[in-house]
Amino acid sequence: MCKKLLFAAVLSASLIGCIPQRTFFSTFSSGIDYKEYSDLGFYVTESNSVNFNYTPISSIVASVKSGYLGDEKPSNSKVKVSKSDRGSLFITATASIVLEELYQEAIKLGANGIINLKIEAKTESGINDYGVTTDFPVYVATGMAIKK
């Protein structure tokens, strides 16, 4: 009798742990402010056609992936570090962070603008603080670095 009761308890606990979590409807909208870059004299547009002469410098790409903070400290001014309920330091990828990375790369190359800017949001699976597989935000930005 005791073995049957123990077996039932173990079986119940294992089945409860396997119940998938429901995903609830939600909405999200966001914008990226290009003004701070234009205030610095840096041109940013999503268009691949502009009405001025320019010199193409390079195709550029940047990617940021959400994740736990390791030994490397982020140098990107847009990064905000948060603390999980278990005390781990975590960075959530955003479109602003990936744009800043793309801007820094363009500056390194001597550019003063980016045209044909594209920012793609996606997710990648990873393990959270609880050992559960979770989708984390990832952003990829591409464009052409130019000199006006």
Reported as type and span, the H/E element at residue 103 is helix 95-108
| pLDDT digits 0-9 by tens, 85-115 | 777 888 889 999 999 999 999 999 999 999 9
Q: pTM here?
A: 0.75
| pLDDT digits 0-9 by tens, 16-33 | 555 566 777 878 777 888
Structural domain boundaries of the chain?
A: 33-147
- In CATH, which superfamily holds the domain spanning 33-147? Hypothetical protein apc22750. Chain B (3.30.110.70)
Residue 61 vs residues 69, 88, 89, 119: alpha-carbon distances, Å: 22, 29, 26, 10
